[in-house]
Amino acid sequence: MANIINAVTSGVGGLSTTADASGQIALQTNNGTTALTLDNSQNATFAGNITTSSGTVTAANFSGSGAGLTGVGGFTLLGTMTATASTNRQYSISSLNLTGYKQVYVSATMSAGAQYLYIANAAANTSGIIVLNNNTTSSGFGIFDLGSGNAVGYYNTSSGNPGAPGNTLSQFLGGSGITNSTTTIYGYFGSTGTFTFTANVYGVK
């Protein structure tokens, strides 16, 4: 049990208390629903959500797996650009809200097409960041800083798995124009072809 402080709504309302020798305190609302329990090891157990006026909760450390936590960073899949045997050169992910994200990460693979894939904030842009090489089979990724609009792309320089012997990564640096205010991210192949590819776009907090 616990020492109980209960917010009573019946009658004229008020507070009622019930004492015991447990050394614990339970705060109750709505005629006996426990909202917060403080045990005699100074641990607090909340029955509902914790909300602060600033929207920030600060702690020296956390314990547990964190499996039930949301909105605490990591990768969030924002959308996917994909095609199978398509002659379209232009692809996009629209209606984005990048507020609160620090970076965008693009992971891309191609099994047919043999053209560079540029990622940028505008359509038909061959000044974007390259994430796929002009080989029949290619893979790569891009990291886009949303504060500065600058980015870097890495892609394999020969066909096949970039981690395979003899295959190396090439680096492409530049400005993509993708920032926190961007609402559409475009993928554009540098020339015509028949493309089979997938590019996953993630937001990074």
> What HEC string does 87-154 produce?
CCCEEEECCCCCCCCCEEEEEEEEEECCCCEEEECCCCCCCCEEEECCCCCEEEEEEEECCCCEEEEE
User: What tens digit of pLDDT does each residue of 124-134 get?
Assistant: 988 889 999 88
CATH 2.60.120 range(s) for the chain read: 75-204
pTM above 0.75, yes or no: no
Domain 75-204 matching CATH 3.40.50: the answer reads no
| Higher-confidence position of 120 and 161 | 120
User: What tens digit of pLDDT does each residue of 142-155 get?
Assistant: 999 999 999 999 88
The number of beta carbons lying within 10 Å of the beta carbon of residue 186 is: 23
How does residue 158 score in pLDDT terms, banded at 50, 70 and 90? low
pLDDT at 89: 96
